[in-house]
Amino acid sequence: MSAAGSKERTEPAVHRPVAGFGDLVHRRPETITFLLLVAICVAVAIANPAFLQPSTLVDIGRASVVMGLFALGTLVILAAGGIDVSFTAIAAFTMYSLTLLVQNYLPGLPIAAVLLLATVGGAALGLVNGVLVHHLRVPSLIVTIGTQYLFRGFLLAFIGTVWIMSLPPVMGAFGRLPLFRLEAANGAIITLPAYFLILPAAAILTWWILNRTLMGRAIFAVGGNPEVASRLGYSLRTVRLFVFGYAGALAGLAGIIHVCANRQANPFDLVGTEITVIAAVVLGGAKITGGTGTVLGTVLGVLLIVVLNSVLVLVGIPSTWQRLVVGSFILLAAAFFVTRQRRR
């Protein structure tokens, strides 16, 4: 037998390491969010089977729309290395001023045109953020804190502070338009509104932008290292204008959906939800420092927050304690992500 053959038989096999759970979490951090979501749902369903009733699931879907649209815009900005806390002010400004416009001057405007105007108006306000962030050369958090007060102050000082309790007919009809109806065991009619479809449509569009376009590649490059991205030929100005304009467009759309769903326009609505939305995106695996994030993780993060709030209501925890419970949960989950990253 030849020496080569002997060497071939006696040489130890090379074993490639098998990717474990830690590697999966490192590559797909939204896995933890998904597992937490499943664990909460299973635990609550065992404790209270009423949680799995269609009415509860429809309520969760309905409550996810506005927060989900906010979160998708926040994801795009975080991926580019920025942060925005003005999107609720953009939503409030757009929804209230547009409701007044339609009510007083354009009562026959079709709902498609109303949604388009809300999207364009939100994008215009978002572009203001993008221009200021790029040209002032200051952190986007500082800029958007300023524009948040600017937009909200202008709304309250010059447009109005009175609640609009009677919406234009076209907006009220859109809020009541059903996607499907179910009859519960007790005879109650459960309705999933048609505006729910806007959230999956926006999620698909955001996924396509981030994963299938040059703009998506530029967003992650700028979020990872803006100086290197600039040397590679990416335009920082274009990226910043796009991400803030896109987030503003989604915020304007979310605002008008909020009005149609609640059948009233309150200029003081949505205040204080910024941190919850940002937390949902971070829980979905996006880094606050930029360069990462997925649409799937963001949607899971939104569902986690909405389900947690629904569970607290279902088990009868007073509203004064709900923020404490949700905040503690967010801190624990964030600590887990940070610890896992340091170990890696």
**Statement: residue 14 has pLDDT above 60:** no
In a domain, 321, yes or no: no
Token pair belonging to 234? 């990416």
Q: Residue 105: pLDDT band by 50, 70, 90 thresholds? A: very high
- Report pLDDT digits (tens) over 237-255: 999 999 999 999 999 999 9
Q: How many domains does the structure of the chain reveal? A: 1
**Statement: residue 23 has pLDDT above 60:** no
| Of 78, 83, 70, residue with least CA distance to 138 | 83
Please give the mean pLDDT across all residues of the chain.
Answer: 87
* pLDDT at site 3: 45
In a domain, 319, yes or no: no
- Weakest mean pLDDT among 119-123, 186-190, 192-196, 294-298: 186-190
In a domain, 39, yes or no: no
- 70 or 50, which is more confident: 70
Token pair belonging to 51? 């949680």
CB 129 within 8 A of CB 143: yes
How many Cα atoms within 13 Å fall on the side-chain side of residue 308? 23
The mean pLDDT of 288-310, rounded to a whole number, is 91
DSSP string, 250-261: HHHHHHHHHHHH
* pLDDT at site 225: 93
Q: If you search the block for the tokens 């815009």, which residue do you land on?
A: 73
What Rg, from alpha-carbon coordinates, does the chain have? 23
In a domain, 297, yes or no: no
* pLDDT at site 6: 44
Q: What is the value of pTM for the model shown?
A: 0.90
Q: Residue 20: pLDDT band by 50, 70, 90 thresholds? A: low
Distance CA 279, CA 29 (A): 14
CB 283 within 8 A of CB 33: yes
Distance CA 204, CA 295 (A): 8
Distance CA 101, CA 104 (A): 5
Sign of torsion, CA 7 8 11 14?
positive
The mean pLDDT of 40-65, rounded to a whole number, is 87
CB 87 within 8 A of CB 247: yes
For residue 132, count other CB atoms closer than 10 A to its CB.
20
For residue 87, count other CB atoms closer than 10 A to its CB.
34
- 72 or 335, which is more confident: 72
* pLDDT at site 249: 98
Backbone angles phi, psi at 80, to 5 degrees: -90, 5
DSSP string, 45-99: HHH-GGGGSHHHHHHHHHHHHHHHHHHHHHHHHHHTT-----HHHHHHHHHHHHH
**Statement: residue 273 has pLDDT above 50:** yes
Distance CA 18, CA 97 (A): 57
Residue 284 DSSP SS3: coil
In a domain, 194, yes or no: yes
Q: Residue 189: pLDDT band by 50, 70, 90 thresholds? A: confident
Q: Residue 5: pLDDT band by 50, 70, 90 thresholds? A: very low
* pLDDT at site 127: 97
The mean pLDDT of 263-282, rounded to a whole number, is 91
In a domain, 277, yes or no: no
Token pair belonging to 109? 């405007």
In a domain, 69, yes or no: yes
* pLDDT at site 27: 64
| Of 34, 154, 169, residue with least CA distance to 114 | 169
**Statement: residue 200 has pLDDT above 80:** yes
* pLDDT at site 344: 58
* pLDDT at site 272: 85
Of all residues in the chain, the percent with pLDDT exceeding 90 is: 61
**Statement: residue 28 has pLDDT above 80:** no
In a domain, 78, yes or no: yes
CB 63 within 8 A of CB 310: yes
Token pair belonging to 35? 């597992």
CA geometry: angle at 34 spanning 332 and 278, to 5°? 55
Q: Residue 52: pLDDT band by 50, 70, 90 thresholds? A: confident
Domain range for residue 256?
A: 53-271
